[in-house]
Amino acid sequence: MTLDTGDTGFMLVATALVMIMTPGLAFFYGGLVSRKNVLTIMMQSYVSMGVSTILWVVVGYSLCFSGDVGGIIGNLDMAFLRGIAPTDLFGGVDDGTIPLLLFVVYQMMFAIITPALITGAFANRITFKAYLIFLVAWQILVYYPFVHMIWGGGMLADWGVLDFAGGIVVHTLAGMAALASVIYVGKRGVEDAGAHNVPFVAIGAALLWFGWFGFNAGSELAVDEVTVVAFINTQIAAAFAAITWLLLAWHYDKKPSFVEMLIGMIAGLATITPAAGFVTPQSAMLIGVAAGLVCYYAVVFRKKKGLDDALDVWGVHGVGGALGIIMLGVLASESIGGQNGLYHGDSGFFMVQLAGLALACVWAFAFTYGMLMMIDKVTPVRVSEETEAALDVALHGEAAYID
């Protein structure tokens, strides 16, 4: 095949949409924290746009998509993007319709936002130097191996694990890393009073919802009927989850909360991500309701256990991504993405999904916890009590607001 300008134009837009999700995440997280550490958590997202880009073009893309070492990781044959010409097509001359460099930059945007998701868990508590080391080490030891194993033709792909846009690769890995981080770092010394700027949260949520169409529909890497199914499934699941979460929170808190509804929307988006191009719109409705219910009660469980996951990364992204992988194993339809799930008679695929999910959970938790222990030997991971009390000024010499 030759380059398809329609596919290429769509993927350029999809790439830009995924890029805007990281600033959207910065606003979403920034509004949810207190006034004293708005800049710190926003900078953690923005700095990933720089560091993760550099890491991706130097070694990341090659380790994910070039060669294979033991089914776990790629090789360095394409380090610094060597050997990739502007005329090369992703999929090769027989099947490719978009430039290979476009696939490289599209996947780059996933690499940027995934570690940034984790920052919401340890808000207020991490030194900037430790975060920079973590940002690099976590991608190399956790993110890149699973990109290769699932999307790069590695071990989990051989098993038959499916993950349309990142239920394991993005959300489960980030959520389990968040859980490990919270357990290692411990509770905040100063508890936030709650979202300090709800309009920031709303702006961030809007950018995330908007960008998620590029995240999910773009993962088809072409313009066809599956692209459209992934697009509408994204909208459906987000809406059903948002309203389910809103009604639950309204029931328990006695008032309809705008922030709670927005968190529910993110849970729906995270949960539909792995299944978006493999299930029917009717299944997306079920997935949205399940996301609102399961993720809401996961957050309740987390609070009862006293785990200080500041912005509920584990409950929303970790549980949401895992739930999406499980529901994909149940609801996958051959008429959409070529694979049936448990409901349609393929129990083997369901078991494969569970096995891939279990490996991801154990790997992400163990490597993240061990990584933080090693970083602590090089530089302190946790800020001092004095720094935590005035985080933005103490770490960066800047403040979001001048009183």
- Tens digit of each residue's pLDDT (9 = 90 or more) over 136-161: 999 999 999 999 999 999 999 999 99
Question: What domain range is 356 assigned to?
Answer: 5-380
Domain count, the chain: 1
Compute the distance between CA of residue 266 and CA of residue 204 in angstroms, rounded to an integer: 11
**Is residue 391 situated within a structural domain?**
no
295 domain-assigned: yes
Determine the pLDDT at residue 371: 97
Confidence class for position 93, pLDDT limits 50, 70, 90: low
CA nearest to 161, candidates 341, 285, 282 = 341
Establish if 387 belongs to a structural domain. Answer: no
Q: What is the 3-state secondary structure (H, E, C) of the chain?
A: CCCCHHHHHHHHHHHHHHHHHHHHHHHHHHHHCCHHHHHHHHHHHHHHHHHHHHHHHHHHHHHHHCCCECCCECCCCCHHHCCCCCCCECCHHHHCCCEHHHHHHHHHHHHHHHHHHHCCCCCCCECHHHHHHHHHHHHHHHHHHHHHHHHCCCHHHHHCCCCCCCHHHHHHHHHHHHHHHHHHHCCCCCCCCCCCCHHHHHHHHHHHHHHHHHHHHHHHCCCCHHHHHHHHHHHHHHHHHHHHHHHHHHHHHCCCCHHHHHHHHHHHHHHHCCCCCCCCHHHHHHHHHHHHHHHHHHHHHHHHCCCCCCCCHHHHHHHHHHHHHHHHHHHCCHHHHCCCCHHHCCHHHHHHHHHHHHHHHHHHHHHHHHHHHHHHHHCCCECCHHHHHCHHHHHHCCCCCCC
Question: Is 174 inside any structural domain?
Answer: yes
Residue 389 in domain: no
Q: Is the pLDDT of residue 122 over 90?
A: yes
Amino acid at 313: V
283 in a domain, yes or no? yes
Q: Does the predicted model carry a pTM greater than 0.75?
A: yes
Note every long-range contact of 219-222, with CB atoms under 8 Å and residues 24 or more positions apart, other chains counting. 219/164, 219/165, 219/166, 219/276, 219/277, 220/277, 221/7, 221/11, 221/90, 221/98, 221/103, 221/106, 222/4, 222/7, 222/10, 222/97, 222/98
User: How high is the pLDDT of residue 190?
Assistant: 78
Interval 169-173 mean pLDDT = 98
Look-up of token digits 């030997």 = 377
Task: Return the percentage of the chain with pLDDT > 90, whole number.
Answer: 94
- Give the C-alpha separation, 251 to 296, whole Å: 12
| Inter-axis angle of helices 347-378 and 319-331, nearest 10 | 160
CATH of the domain at 247: 1.10.3430.10
CA distance 137 to 371: 8
pLDDT band (50, 70, 90) for residue 189: confident
- Does residue 385 lie in a domain region? no
Residues 315 and 182: their CA atoms lie apart, in Å, by 12
Q: Does 400 reside within a domain? A: no
More confident residue, 17 or 194: 17
Average pLDDT over residues 295-314: 96
Residue 92 has pLDDT above 70, yes or no: no
**Residue 282 pLDDT exceeds 70:** yes
Q: Which amino acid type is present at position 283?
A: S
Average pLDDT (367-380) is 97
**52: pLDDT strictly greater than 80:** yes
Q: What are phi and psi of 123, to 5 degrees?
A: -50, 140
φ, ψ for residue 400, nearest 5 deg: -70, -30
What's the confidence (pLDDT) of residue 194?
Answer: 81
91 pLDDT tier (thresholds 50, 70, 90)? confident
Percent of the chain with pLDDT over 70: 99
CA-derived radius of gyration, the chain: 20
Is residue 221 very low, low, confident or very high in pLDDT (cuts 50, 70, 90)? very high
Residue 52 identity (one-letter amino acid): S
CA distance 352 to 329: 8
Given a cut of 70, whether residue 94 has pLDDT beyond it is no
Give the pLDDT confidence score for residue 172 in this predicted structure.
Answer: 98
